[in-house]
Amino acid sequence: MVADSIGCINFKPGDTAMKLSNEQMSSLVHLAFSRMDGAWFMAVAKKYGIEAAWEMDVEAWKQFSYVMGKNLAKQATAEPSWPGTFLDAMSVFMNVLGMTGRSITVDDGAITIRVTDCEVQKGIAKAGIADCGIVTVETYQGLVRGLFGKDVNISVEHTKNLNHGDDCCEVVIRTG
Protein backbone atom coordinates (compact mmCIF):
# COMPACT_ATOMS: atom_id res chain seq x y z
CA MET A 1 0.00 0.00 0.00
CA VAL A 2 1.19 3.47 -0.86
CA ALA A 3 -0.50 6.79 -0.06
CA ASP A 4 -0.50 9.30 -2.90
CA SER A 5 -0.02 13.07 -2.61
CA ILE A 6 -3.62 13.72 -1.50
CA GLY A 7 -3.69 10.88 1.03
CA CYS A 8 -5.53 8.24 -1.00
CA ILE A 9 -4.29 4.74 -0.41
CA ASN A 10 -3.46 2.87 -3.58
CA PHE A 11 -3.42 -0.90 -3.44
CA LYS A 12 -1.22 -3.03 -5.62
CA PRO A 13 -2.43 -6.49 -6.68
CA GLY A 14 -2.14 -8.81 -3.67
CA ASP A 15 -2.11 -5.99 -1.12
CA THR A 16 -4.61 -6.26 1.70
CA ALA A 17 -5.00 -4.36 4.91
CA MET A 18 -5.62 -7.71 6.59
CA LYS A 19 -2.99 -10.37 6.27
CA LEU A 20 -5.01 -13.44 5.31
CA SER A 21 -3.46 -16.78 4.49
CA ASN A 22 -4.39 -18.44 1.19
CA GLU A 23 -6.56 -20.85 3.17
CA GLN A 24 -8.38 -18.01 4.93
CA MET A 25 -8.89 -16.18 1.64
CA SER A 26 -10.20 -19.35 -0.01
CA SER A 27 -12.62 -19.91 2.87
CA LEU A 28 -13.84 -16.33 2.56
CA VAL A 29 -14.39 -16.76 -1.19
CA HIS A 30 -16.48 -19.93 -0.60
CA LEU A 31 -18.56 -18.14 2.03
CA ALA A 32 -19.05 -15.02 -0.10
CA PHE A 33 -20.07 -17.03 -3.15
CA SER A 34 -22.64 -19.17 -1.35
CA ARG A 35 -24.05 -16.25 0.63
CA MET A 36 -24.39 -14.09 -2.50
CA ASP A 37 -26.19 -16.95 -4.25
CA GLY A 38 -28.62 -17.17 -1.36
CA ALA A 39 -29.00 -13.42 -0.93
CA TRP A 40 -30.03 -12.73 -4.50
CA PHE A 41 -32.37 -15.77 -4.46
CA MET A 42 -34.09 -14.50 -1.31
CA ALA A 43 -34.35 -10.97 -2.74
CA VAL A 44 -36.02 -12.22 -5.93
CA ALA A 45 -38.35 -14.49 -3.88
CA LYS A 46 -39.35 -11.58 -1.64
CA LYS A 47 -40.09 -9.21 -4.51
CA TYR A 48 -41.42 -11.56 -7.24
CA GLY A 49 -42.29 -14.81 -5.48
CA ILE A 50 -40.64 -18.17 -4.95
CA GLU A 51 -41.50 -19.53 -8.40
CA ALA A 52 -39.83 -16.56 -10.11
CA ALA A 53 -36.81 -16.96 -7.85
CA TRP A 54 -36.51 -20.63 -8.83
CA GLU A 55 -36.81 -19.84 -12.53
CA MET A 56 -34.11 -17.18 -12.28
CA ASP A 57 -31.90 -19.40 -10.12
CA VAL A 58 -32.00 -22.20 -12.68
CA GLU A 59 -31.20 -19.78 -15.50
CA ALA A 60 -28.37 -18.15 -13.54
CA TRP A 61 -26.75 -21.51 -12.72
CA LYS A 62 -27.13 -22.69 -16.33
CA GLN A 63 -25.29 -19.60 -17.53
CA PHE A 64 -22.72 -19.58 -14.73
CA SER A 65 -21.81 -23.25 -15.17
CA TYR A 66 -21.57 -22.91 -18.95
CA VAL A 67 -19.22 -19.91 -18.66
CA MET A 68 -17.23 -21.71 -15.94
CA GLY A 69 -16.89 -24.73 -18.23
CA LYS A 70 -15.69 -22.55 -21.12
CA ASN A 71 -13.12 -20.88 -18.87
CA LEU A 72 -11.90 -24.18 -17.49
CA ALA A 73 -11.61 -25.57 -21.03
CA LYS A 74 -9.36 -22.61 -21.91
CA GLN A 75 -7.19 -23.41 -18.87
CA ALA A 76 -6.82 -27.08 -19.81
CA THR A 77 -3.37 -28.08 -20.95
CA ALA A 78 -4.68 -30.58 -23.50
CA GLU A 79 -7.65 -31.04 -25.81
CA PRO A 80 -10.72 -31.74 -23.62
CA SER A 81 -11.50 -35.45 -23.31
CA TRP A 82 -14.31 -37.37 -21.63
CA PRO A 83 -14.36 -38.13 -18.75
CA GLY A 84 -10.93 -36.83 -17.65
CA THR A 85 -11.46 -33.14 -18.40
CA PHE A 86 -14.93 -33.25 -16.86
CA LEU A 87 -13.60 -34.89 -13.68
CA ASP A 88 -10.83 -32.29 -13.41
CA ALA A 89 -13.35 -29.49 -13.97
CA MET A 90 -15.69 -30.94 -11.34
CA SER A 91 -12.87 -30.95 -8.81
CA VAL A 92 -12.20 -27.25 -9.46
CA PHE A 93 -15.92 -26.40 -9.54
CA MET A 94 -16.60 -28.22 -6.29
CA ASN A 95 -13.71 -26.44 -4.61
CA VAL A 96 -15.08 -23.08 -5.77
CA LEU A 97 -18.51 -23.96 -4.38
CA GLY A 98 -17.14 -25.25 -1.08
CA MET A 99 -18.33 -28.83 -1.61
CA THR A 100 -16.26 -30.91 0.78
CA GLY A 101 -16.90 -34.48 1.81
CA ARG A 102 -17.24 -35.56 -1.79
CA SER A 103 -16.46 -38.65 -3.78
CA ILE A 104 -16.54 -39.28 -7.50
CA THR A 105 -16.59 -42.74 -9.04
CA VAL A 106 -16.61 -43.89 -12.64
CA ASP A 107 -18.20 -47.29 -13.29
CA ASP A 108 -19.77 -48.81 -16.41
CA GLY A 109 -19.79 -45.47 -18.23
CA ALA A 110 -21.56 -43.67 -15.40
CA ILE A 111 -20.01 -40.98 -13.22
CA THR A 112 -21.46 -40.91 -9.71
CA ILE A 113 -20.84 -37.85 -7.58
CA ARG A 114 -21.65 -37.95 -3.88
CA VAL A 115 -21.43 -34.90 -1.65
CA THR A 116 -21.96 -34.94 2.10
CA ASP A 117 -20.97 -31.35 2.88
CA CYS A 118 -21.96 -28.42 0.65
CA GLU A 119 -22.12 -24.72 1.54
CA VAL A 120 -24.87 -24.02 -1.01
CA GLN A 121 -27.01 -26.89 0.31
CA LYS A 122 -26.49 -25.68 3.89
CA GLY A 123 -27.77 -22.25 2.94
CA ILE A 124 -30.81 -23.77 1.24
CA ALA A 125 -31.54 -25.96 4.25
CA LYS A 126 -31.17 -22.99 6.61
CA ALA A 127 -33.63 -20.92 4.58
CA GLY A 128 -36.02 -23.87 4.47
CA ILE A 129 -37.59 -22.75 1.21
CA ALA A 130 -35.89 -24.61 -1.56
CA ASP A 131 -34.31 -27.72 -2.96
CA CYS A 132 -31.17 -27.56 -5.10
CA GLY A 133 -31.90 -30.70 -7.16
CA ILE A 134 -33.11 -28.96 -10.33
CA VAL A 135 -30.26 -26.46 -10.21
CA THR A 136 -27.73 -29.26 -9.68
CA VAL A 137 -28.86 -31.08 -12.82
CA GLU A 138 -28.75 -27.90 -14.92
CA THR A 139 -25.37 -26.92 -13.47
CA TYR A 140 -23.68 -30.19 -14.40
CA GLN A 141 -25.19 -30.05 -17.89
CA GLY A 142 -24.02 -26.44 -18.29
CA LEU A 143 -20.50 -27.30 -17.18
CA VAL A 144 -20.31 -30.14 -19.74
CA ARG A 145 -21.60 -27.88 -22.53
CA GLY A 146 -19.05 -25.23 -21.62
CA LEU A 147 -16.24 -27.77 -21.67
CA PHE A 148 -17.22 -29.74 -24.77
CA GLY A 149 -19.67 -27.59 -26.77
CA LYS A 150 -23.36 -26.75 -26.69
CA ASP A 151 -24.34 -29.79 -28.76
CA VAL A 152 -23.02 -32.31 -26.22
CA ASN A 153 -25.83 -34.04 -24.35
CA ILE A 154 -25.51 -35.88 -21.08
CA SER A 155 -28.03 -37.50 -18.81
CA VAL A 156 -27.96 -36.15 -15.26
CA GLU A 157 -30.04 -37.77 -12.54
CA HIS A 158 -30.18 -36.40 -8.98
CA THR A 159 -30.78 -39.67 -7.11
CA LYS A 160 -30.21 -38.62 -3.47
CA ASN A 161 -30.64 -35.28 -1.75
CA LEU A 162 -29.43 -34.07 1.64
CA ASN A 163 -32.45 -31.73 1.79
CA HIS A 164 -34.72 -34.79 1.57
CA GLY A 165 -33.00 -36.55 4.48
CA ASP A 166 -30.64 -38.71 2.43
CA ASP A 167 -27.07 -39.36 3.62
CA CYS A 168 -25.65 -37.39 0.69
CA CYS A 169 -26.48 -35.60 -2.50
CA GLU A 170 -25.89 -38.09 -5.27
CA VAL A 171 -25.83 -37.33 -8.97
CA VAL A 172 -25.38 -39.92 -11.72
CA ILE A 173 -24.11 -38.69 -15.09
CA ARG A 174 -24.13 -40.65 -18.33
CA THR A 175 -23.21 -39.67 -21.86
CA GLY A 176 -25.64 -40.00 -24.74
Strand partners, 110: 107, 174
117: left (phi over 0), alpha (psi -120 to 50) or beta: beta
34: left (phi over 0), alpha (psi -120 to 50) or beta: alpha
Domain assignments of the chain as residue spans, ordered by start: 22-175
pTM, rounded to two decimals: 0.80
Q: HSE on the CB side for 159, CA within 13 Å? A: 11
- Amino acid residing at 167: D
Nearest-angstrom CA–CA distance, 54 and 129: 10
**What end-to-end distance do the CA atoms of the chain give, in Å?**
54
Q: Per-residue pLDDT for the chain (176 aa), expressed as one digit of tens each? A: 455 555 565 656 666 567 778 888 877 877 787 778 888 888 999 999 989 998 998 999 999 999 999 999 988 767 888 999 999 999 988 888 778 788 999 998 899 999 888 777 777 777 777 677 778 899 999 999 999 999 998 999 999 988 888 999 899 999 87
Look at the domain 22-175 and name its fold: Muramoyl-pentapeptide Carboxypeptidase; domain 2 (3.30.1380)
